[in-house]
């Protein structure tokens, strides 16, 4: 038997390069889209973390001052505890000693908290009554609530109300700080005494 030195030639069907190039273009598009989405989510998460750190800075400052504000030699007169506001405080447009308005004005003029930036809008964070999922302009805002205890045995131990300029601060206060995330939901930062 004779062996043939010739090998049979196999013919391959021509490759459809159009489909191959289409697939490669599609894969490049997917990689670009995933990279862009990851970068966008990272940027938004960083902005949310800055908003939380703004709230944490308020908690730190108020907690630190809250431990000393009832002492006789406390230097920040505007935030001093035990100072009863005058009866005309509610009628005055100017902040009155013994109220949150005087303390807030002091903080915003004389502390590092005045330099905070809401990175979502590149401006000073606003203080709002509550976060609202239908209002995207509140993203990065700070909610500062005065927590008032409810009667013993209540299902809810505290009721939170927005701390406003005319509120007296002459007593040991229980406060809560939250910030509004991009979706308008509240992120609780802390509850503490002031």
Residue 96's pLDDT is what?
84
Terminal CA-to-CA distance of the chain, rounded, Å? 105
The boundaries of the domain holding residue 28 are 20-193
**pLDDT at residue 133, as a whole number:** 92
Q: What is the C-alpha to C-alpha distance for residues 140 and 126, in angstroms, rounded to an integer?
A: 8
Please give the Cα distance from 178 to 111 (Å, whole number): 20
Q: Which of 35-49, 51-65, 91-105, 161-175 has the lowest mean pLDDT?
A: 91-105
Element (H, E) at 65: helix 17-66
Sign of CA dihedral 50, 68, 112, 136: positive
In a domain, 5, yes or no: no
* 3 domain residue, yes or no: no
Average pLDDT over residues 108-132: 94
User: How high is the pLDDT of residue 10?
Assistant: 63
Chain segment 64-82, per-residue pLDDT in tens = 999 999 999 999 999 998 8
Number of domain units in the chain? 1
Tokens of 118: 């809401």
Among candidates 137, 131, 113, 102, which has minimal Cα distance to 55?
113
pLDDT at 1 over 60: no
Sign, CA dihedral 148-150-151-156, equals: negative
Tell me if 13 is assigned to some domain: no
Instruction: Confirm whether 7 is domain-assigned.
Output: no
The pLDDT mean for the chain works out to 88
For residues 136 and 125, is the Cβ–Cβ distance under 8 A?
A: no
Q: Does a structural domain hold residue 4?
A: no
pLDDT digits (tens, 9 = 90+) for 4-39: 566 666 666 666 676 788 888 999 999 999 999 999
61 occurs within a structural domain? yes
Could you please report the per-residue DSSP string of 115-175?
Answer: G--BTTTTBPPPEES---TT-GGGTT-EEEEEEEEPPTT-SSSEEEEE--TT-B--S--EE
Give the span between the Cα atoms of 164 and 129, in whole angstroms: 9
């Amino acid at each position: 038997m004779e062996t043939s030195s010739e090998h049979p030639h196999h013919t391959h069907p021509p490759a459809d390069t159009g489909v191959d190039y289409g697939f490669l273009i599609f894969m490049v598009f997917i990689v670009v889209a995933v990279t862009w989405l990851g970068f966008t989510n990272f940027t938004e998460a960083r902005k949310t973390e800055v908003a939380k750190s703004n709230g944490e800075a308020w908690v730190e400052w108020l907690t630190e001052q809250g431990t000393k504000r009832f002492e006789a030699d406390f230097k920040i007169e505007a935030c001093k505890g035990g100072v009863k506001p005058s009866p005309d405080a509610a009628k005055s447009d100017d902040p009155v000693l013994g109220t949150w308005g005087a303390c807030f004005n002091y903080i915003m003029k004389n502390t590092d908290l005045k330099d905070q930036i809401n990175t979502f809008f590149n401006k000073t964070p606003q203080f709002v009554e509550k976060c609202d999922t239908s209002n995207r302009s509140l993203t990065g805002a700070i909610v500062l609530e005065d927590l008032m205890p409810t009667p013993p045995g209540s299902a809810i131990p505290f009721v939170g109300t927005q701390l406003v300029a005319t509120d007296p601060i002459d007593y040991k206060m229980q406060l809560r700080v939250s910030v509004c995330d991009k979706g308008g939901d509240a992120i609780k930062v802390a509850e503490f005494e002031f």
